Structure 1
């Protein structure tokens, strides 16, 4: 990447919420530091705003890994052991750290306070409200695997199925679970989202896809199945007078055709990558 960038702290995308990590440290009466990549110039491992919460025993979040991160963690823990409350560190990644990246970074390390926690909660809530919604229809093996694959990614993901026993088997911690009608959820979905149709019934798959295609206000609509299934569904959608332009936006088979592996976890990984490319490919 090039140029110069400054940004606000971003929601943690590695191993948990920064605010939760800080809250946990405070509850254990443990000091913690907030480490923020405040400014970047040129090529750097992470964007401005990437942040970590560092305590003596744990690190949540990342500013890019490697030497730059290890140095920042050491500085943070040294600060926690002393009396200084804030330090600004500037590094040229090549000359100072021996890294191949040619960029420069400014890192702010500061002792975390109650005000830090309030700020993190507010900013995480704001960023979460901007995340794109992804709806998984069907909580069978592939649906549950996809929920797990999307769980750590920057989306607001939910999974819906009328079968409560299947929803109960969903283990993704950040994914909302809905026991109810897939068609009703599709009809009321907010615009601009992504939808992956994986129900146990081809008839239900068709109803959900038709509802979403008739609306046409989605960014991604994926349907599990073969080219034969797609052709059958396309004929039905044409009978409903759905436009060819909208029908063409239906992704089926999902996950591409380069990898022909039908294991749920593999399908989920391929579809998650497809969703990431659709929503994040142009930058955020």
Structure 2
């Protein structure tokens, strides 16, 4: 979720909005530090800090703060087990902030840093009124100014998806809410739908070798075009390049035929074995496009977890000069 862009839009449309952030975690908790949720004045929200009683309580508090008007931030120190009856057993500090149109300039600056892509670190402090002030770290970097650091933005793993047929379209939709950026390629000018999700960029395929050469080394490659010779050419080029994942739609018979041709082209046995074909999580046998897409999306997430991505900056939750910490609300409810 693009947190700051969402806040800019909500403040512009509704006049105010709240940001609920997991500021610090000790022990087991539903979400990690820097998980966030943006809240509208009517209680609608985007994102999650983990659901359950914790999220419900923080949503209610955020709405109360919005009703009171723009004011100081609050830190809620919440034990999950005894206070809320959640089984996680850890402890979290939740930071809740409110914004209105007076904050738009600051919000837009952070949205601009977010729009550049990737992760960035913000240096943070409480000002004399108890509101949070943030600066992108490269412009501050002063420990005397900084009380804590936050990581913002998102890392989307690049995917080259060759083919805009039924399965290709279903896969683009399945990947829409997931942390991937899809370069969607097909040589047919009329192959793409009229509306494409924001995470996917449709591209008319003209030169396979050029696309493979230009792709980032950590890209994941999926091949499902309408033409088997084209599939062959793409797969051979991708395997030769050595991407972490090269997936080809098709059966074991198709794989065997392709392997024979790969050997004729001089590909090593190690590269040939790395080809994923059939694609998808083993044990899911359905052949409907949506079923295949769900299975492949799960496999791509597995691959993403196994390979190294840019490391997030550390976010030590030191709170020199912070406002009074509010104990978390207690509840008699008990979850199983």
Indicate how the Cα distance of structure 1 residues 126 and 260 shifts in structure 2: closer, same or farther if over 3 A, else same.
closer
Aligned counterparts of 1:230 and 1:189: Cα–Cα separation in 2: 24
For 1:106-149, what per-residue CA distance to the aligned partner results, in whole angstroms no more than 9, with x for missing partners?
A: 11001133324432442463336742201110000000111111
2:177 to 148, 152, 161: 152
> Structure 2 matches for 1:136-151, cutoff 5 A?
136-151=161-176
CA RMSD of aligned residues (A): 1.9
Aligned counterparts of 1:79 and 1:129: Cα–Cα separation in 2: 28
Give the match's secondary structure for 1:135: strand
Give the match's secondary structure for 1:39: strand
Greater relative contact order, per chain length (Cα 8 Å cut-off, separation 6+):
2
- Which residue is 1:7 aligned to? none
Indicate how the Cα distance of structure 1 residues 269 and 70 shifts in structure 2: closer, same or farther if over 3 A, else same.
same
Which has the larger displacement, 180-189 or 30-39? 180-189
Contact kept in structure 2, 1:40 and 1:104, CA below 8 Å: yes
Aligned counterparts of 2:218 and 2:256: Cα–Cα separation in 1: 25
Indicate how the Cα distance of structure 1 residues 170 and 219 shifts in structure 2: closer, same or farther if over 3 A, else same.
farther
Which has the larger displacement, 128-137 or 219-228? 128-137
Aligned counterparts of 1:89 and 1:283: Cα–Cα separation in 2: 34
Contact kept in structure 2, 1:144 and 1:170, CA below 8 Å: no
TM-score, normalization by structure 1 = 0.88
CA deviation after TM superposition for structure 1 residue 104, in Å: 0.8
Contact kept in structure 1, 2:250 and 2:277, CA below 8 Å: yes
Aligned counterparts of 1:26 and 1:81: Cα–Cα separation in 2: 14
- Which residue is 1:176 aligned to? 201
Unaligned ranges ≥5, structure 2 = 120-152, 310-336
> Structure 2 matches for 1:213-252, cutoff 5 A?
213-216=239-242, 218-252=243-277
Aligned counterparts of 1:169 and 1:242: Cα–Cα separation in 2: 39
Indicate how the Cα distance of structure 1 residues 132 and 164 shifts in structure 2: closer, same or farther if over 3 A, else same.
same
Unaligned ranges ≥5, structure 1 = 1-11
For 1:81-119, what per-residue CA distance to the aligned partner results, in whole angstroms no more than 9, with x for missing partners?
A: 115321000111101111011111111001133324432
For 1:18-71, what per-residue CA distance to the aligned partner results, in whole angstroms no more than 9, with x for missing partners?
A: 233212222224211111101111111111111011121321111111111111
Q: Which has the higher helix share?
A: 1
Indicate how the Cα distance of structure 1 residues 273 and 32 shifts in structure 2: closer, same or farther if over 3 A, else same.
same
> Structure 2 matches for 1:75-86, cutoff 5 A?
75-83=61-69, 84-86=71-73
CA deviation after TM superposition for structure 1 residue 282, in Å: 6.8
Tell me the number of residue pairs that the alignment of Structure 1 and Structure 2 aligns. 268
1:196 to 207, 217, 222: 222
For 1:173-217, what per-residue CA distance to the aligned partner results, in whole angstroms no more than 9, with x for missing partners?
A: 32111122361322321211101000001100000010011111x
Are 1:253 and 2:272 an aligned pair? no
Aligned counterparts of 2:18 and 2:194: Cα–Cα separation in 1: 37
**Structure showing greater Rg:** 2
Contact kept in structure 1, 2:5 and 2:111, CA below 8 Å: no
TM-score, normalization by structure 2 = 0.75
Aligned counterparts of 2:89 and 2:14: Cα–Cα separation in 1: 40
2:80 to 88, 93, 104: 93
Give the match's secondary structure for 1:165: coil
- Which residue is 2:110 aligned to? 119
- Which residue is 1:280 aligned to? 305
Contact kept in structure 1, 2:171 and 2:290, CA below 8 Å: yes
For 1:151-193, what per-residue CA distance to the aligned partner results, in whole angstroms no more than 9, with x for missing partners?
A: 1111111211111211235632321111223613223212111
Contact kept in structure 2, 1:147 and 1:170, CA below 8 Å: no
Which has the larger displacement, 56-65 or 123-132? 123-132
- Which residue is 1:4 aligned to? none
CA deviation after TM superposition for structure 1 residue 243, in Å: 0.7
